Amino acid sequence: MKKTVPYITGDGVGVEITPSMQAIVNAAVKKAYGSEHEIEWIEVLAGERAFNETGSWLPDETMEAFKKYGVGIKGPLTTPVGGGIRSLNVALRQTLDLYVCLRPVRWFSGVVSPVKEPQKVDMHIFRENTEDIYAGIEWEQGTPEAQKFYAFLRDEMGVTKVRFPETSSFGVKPVSKEGTQRLVRAAIEYALQHGLPSVTLVHKGNIMKFTEGGFKRWGYEVAETEFKDQTFTMNEYDRLKKELGEESAKAAVAKAINDGKVVVKDCIADAFLQNTLLIPEEYSVIATLNLNGDYVSDQLAAMVGGIGIAPGANINYKSGHAIFEATHGTAPNIAGKNVVNPCSLLLSSVMMLEYMGWKEAAQLIVNALEKAFSKGKATHDLARFMPNGHALGTNEFGQEIISLL
């Protein structure tokens, strides 16, 4: 089976990490399947290179390729400064309605971590990708638009709590029931498919009652209406505790866990960030809005060694469209120096292979990375912290991984 995969090389370090990733993936697919499976890579353009060659930061042909072939992968992109597109990554996600930003975070043996027990970190973050601040609407301080918006708040809505109205900028973030529930639905289905024990709704509903609080409420609602026989919610726990007492509630959740049900719970965002350091083993699948997800995914990545080994994907589970990506930037300060760590994009390619159902090839790459790290073989960003660290260049690290497949 030949699978066509459009790819964006990316700007800056993308020129180095993308060919390295492709060489490793090709070798893993060949070892796992021989001539039975093959990837046909088709390059499409976006970012600075696209602008220089075509005059467009995001050519229509690129979007058409991702729509046609369903699955693609991309390196980091330069976002244009000034007007126009706020972010190329956001534009890709919103055009294809890739409403889930999936970030699995786990520790690899041999990688030095700033926490004592990084092996306890094994989480799968479902970050909402199309609403919240990604769909945010802003008016800058001192503009007629800001003054008009404040006048509307004051005169039409009776708002009196803007402390410094004359010098305030304003922002509005939309959070919908539909957007929330399709995200939480995907998170619960993922937990069920992968045999994971819980889904945690992370929010700031204690402060923002109707957006963040709505996310919590609507998330529980989809669990209790669509997955009633497969989940146990902490809403249900609270009801049992009130009606029958704490011991009965504890017994019910214990039975649900024993029966293999997914426990759906929630946590205030700031408390959750603390808990990831103190009790990370209590969390598995995380569903959260866009801004909270940004904080959560970066903190968890740091806990297992850094964003250099943090993969990511943007997925629409309804249409099947998915774009896998490096989660770091273009890093122009190290571009062209053969020192960049390709593991973020490489692990994103592992996610892509798993999404395609080519799990044997994906596992070969994971196993090779574990072997390399256990021997202290890594790029400089990771090797410098390893007791037996041996820093390899980007190209050399890629060849090392291929040799260990």
Burial status of residue 187 (CB atoms within 10 A of its CB: 0-12, 13-18, 19 or more): buried
Nearest CA-CA partner of 296 in 140, 105, 100: 105
Q: Is 132 a catalytic residue?
A: no
User: In this structure, what DSSP letter does residue 32 have?
Assistant: H
Active-site annotation holder among 204, 216, 261, 377: 204
Distance separating alpha carbons of residues 333 and 23, to the nearest angstrom? 25
Q: Is 99 a catalytic residue?
A: no
Task: Report whether 27 contacts 368 (CB < 8 A).
Answer: no
Q: Is 204 a catalytic residue?
A: yes
Distance separating alpha carbons of residues 346 and 349, to the nearest angstrom? 5
Active-site annotation holder among 294, 317, 377, 381: 294
* DSSP secondary structure of 247-298: HHHHHHHHHHHHTTPEEEEEEEHHHHHHHHHH-GGG--EEEE-HHHHHHHHH
Active-site annotation holder among 30, 97, 120, 270: 270
User: In this structure, what DSSP letter does residue 79 have?
Assistant: P
Distance separating alpha carbons of residues 285 and 264, to the nearest angstrom? 9
Active-site annotation holder among 134, 190, 237, 355: 134
Q: Is 259 a catalytic residue?
A: no
Question: Which active-site residues does the annotation give?
Answer: 134, 204, 270, 294
